[in-house]
Amino acid sequence: MTYPIEKTDAQWRAELTSQHAEPGAFEVTRRAATERSFSGKYAAHWADGSYHCICCGHTLFDSASKFDAHCGWPSFSQARPGAILEKTDRSHFMTRVETVCSQCGAHLGHVFDDGPTPTGLRYCMNSASLKFSTS
């Protein structure tokens, strides 16, 4: 699949370095790794603002949709319209729905159908995929 923003691995590494991304951000965003639960900086972060893709800056979530799912990863009940694409993930002997940034294809996490009303969704994201902004 192609995305509006495409870069080489070296360019993505340089971009993540310029964004002061967490050490594992390249493996998470470009190789679909998962950070350990309760290890990410946004798991217990509750400020007002918005969450963006660490790779390209695209706005993904508003803080109003964030909730504590007690799973150890930042969780949101709703993404911004058109911000995320969903892909079938059959890794680790299970079938899940992977979420990626619609602009650059960065792996963000997974979406599950066990979230709060009204959406019933839980976007379970890696903190290493996100950048927070108050503006």
So what's the pLDDT on residue 41? 95
Q: For the segment 92-127, what is each residue's pLDDT rounded down to a tens digit?
A: 788 889 999 999 999 999 999 999 999 999 999 999
Q: Comparing C-alpha atoms, which of 28, 24, 15 is closest to residue 55? A: 15
Domains of the chain plus CATH, in order, are: 9-133 (2.170.150.20)
Q: What is the mean pLDDT of residues 88-95?
A: 82
Q: Tell me whether residue 71 is one of the annotated catalytic residues.
A: no
| 30 membership: H or E segment, kind and range | helix 25-31
Longest dimension (CA), the chain: 41
- Catalytic residue selected from 55, 101, 104, 124: 124
So what's the pLDDT on residue 22? 92
Token reading at 49: 């603002």
Q: For the segment 54-74, what is each residue's pLDDT rounded down to a tens digit?
A: 999 999 999 999 999 999 999
Do 65 and 121 meet the contact criterion of CB atoms below 8 Å apart?
Answer: no
